[in-house]
């Protein structure tokens, strides 16, 4: 079938108006190949692929699959589905045949993508957030959370949780203190009441289990936290800057399990100054400005007093420093 397309019309649309062969074909109701053949016949220079992309971008015109999606949605879907299936098969085969090579290639690909498009992830996230797609889709997020919980992946991976905690503590060693100031004892007490009511946090297990877990893991976990603390005085780590200041005020030299961090049947008492120390010699001392279980200073004192009494220290005095005034009054900052 012959199509009567004058050279002047084609020249005007292709060269002057800079329309693509696809757009012209659609306007004249003929195929793209007919337009391209007429361009060659009339010796009108056909644009290269890079030139076509530049022109189409400047004109805001679509090309390739983007245009096909509008012209023939069913064909686009068919090609897209085949492409996805083919890609899945390829990745599956490659991963099974060479797991190590596959992992390296994926990692290198991600690195190169980040180098070329450093803000790609941010742009995609913004689009997804705007359209409630991906992880911003509540249903997708719920499924992802359930899957990660079940498989202990992502934020539910104990290694990642531990790593995140360490990094947060290194970058913001006073974070807990600042959060405590924001929430205060009221916030801690409110959280404890809520957890008790809902059976969450430590209230999700029986009293017997809490006691058992406390005896087994309490001192160990405290020791581990202290080991990673940045607050060190004379080779001894302290849980906070304030606790270290208290130690400097009342002790001459901290000695573990002698005058500092004394283990008492699964619990740990902060200080027990000796004769050669500066203050409170022969007395147990606890620095505890707030209690996350919602205990008042008096309730906390009674709890620690009971620990000492049950382990042979009834005759020893216990002092609880429950605020930072003591530090300021004794020259600390």
Nearest to 231 by CA among 246, 216, 214, 211: 246
Residue 254 Cα distances to 21, 288, 322, angstroms? 84, 18, 21
User: What pTM value is reported for the model?
Assistant: 0.38
Give percent of the chain above pLDDT 90: 19
Can you give the residue ranges of every domain in the chain? 7-71, 203-329
Could you tell me the pLDDT band of residue 50, with boundaries at 50, 70 and 90?
confident
Highest-pLDDT range among 100-109, 164-173, 319-328: 100-109
For the cut 90, the answer to whether the pLDDT of residue 255 exceeds it is yes
φ, ψ of residue 283 in degrees (nearest 5): -125, 145
Strand pairing category for 260-264 and 267-271: antiparallel
Choose among 80, 55, 54: nearest CA to 66.
Answer: 80
DSSP result, 146-189 = HHHHHHT-GGG-HHHHHHHHHHHHHH-TTHHHHHHHHHHHHHHH
**What tens digit of pLDDT does each residue of 174-230 get?**
666 666 656 555 555 666 677 666 665 555 555 555 555 555 455 566 677 778 888
Question: pLDDT tens-digit profile of 106-119?
Answer: 888 888 888 888 88
Q: How confident is the model at residue 71 (pLDDT cuts 50, 70, 90)?
A: low
Which residues, listed in sequence order, are joined to residue 318 by a DSSP beta bridge? 284
State residue 216's pLDDT score: 47
Print burial letters for 215-247: b (CB count within 10 Å at least 16), e (below 16).
eeeebeeeeeebeebebebeebbbbbbbbbbbb
């Amino acid at each position: 079938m012959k199509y009567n397309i004058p050279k002047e019309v084609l020249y005007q649309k292709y060269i002057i108006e800079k329309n693509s062969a696809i757009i012209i074909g659609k306007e004249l109701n003929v195929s793209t190949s007919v337009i391209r053949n007429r361009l060659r016949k009339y010796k009108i220079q056909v644009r290269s692929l890079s030139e076509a992309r530049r022109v189409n971008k400047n004109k805001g015109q679509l090309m390739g699959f983007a245009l096909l999606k509008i012209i023939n949605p069913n064909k686009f879907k068919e090609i897209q589905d085949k492409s996805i299936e083919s890609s899945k098969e390829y990745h599956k085969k490659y991963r099974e045949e060479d797991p190590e090579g596959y992992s390296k290639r994926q990692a290198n690909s991600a690195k190169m993508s980040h180098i070329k498009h450093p803000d790609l992830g941010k742009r995609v996230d913004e689009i997804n957030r705007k359209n409630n797609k991906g992880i911003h889709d509540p249903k997708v997020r719920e499924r992802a959370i359930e899957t990660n919980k079940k498989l202990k992946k992502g934020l539910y991976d104990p290694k990642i949780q531990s790593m995140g905690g360490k990094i947060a503590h290194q970058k913001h060693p006073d974070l807990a203190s600042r959060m405590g100031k924001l929430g205060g004892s009221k916030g801690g007490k409110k959280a404890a009441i809520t957890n008790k009511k809902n059976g969450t946090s430590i209230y999700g297990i029986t009293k017997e289990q809490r006691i058992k877990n406390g005896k087994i893991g309490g001192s160990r976990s405290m020791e581990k936290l202290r080991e990673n603390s940045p607050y060190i005085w004379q080779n001894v780590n302290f849980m906070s800057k304030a606790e270290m200041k208290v130690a400097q005020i009342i002790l001459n030299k901290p000695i573990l399990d002698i005058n500092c961090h004394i283990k008492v049947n699964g619990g740990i008492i902060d200080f027990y100054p000796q004769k050669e120390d500066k203050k409170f010699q022969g007395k147990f001392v606890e620095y505890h400005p707030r209690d996350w279980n919602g205990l008042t200073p008096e309730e906390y004192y009674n709890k620690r007093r009971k620990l000492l009494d049950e382990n042979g220290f009834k005759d020893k005095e216990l002092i609880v420093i429950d605020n930072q005034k003591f530090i300021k009054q004794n020259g600390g900052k």
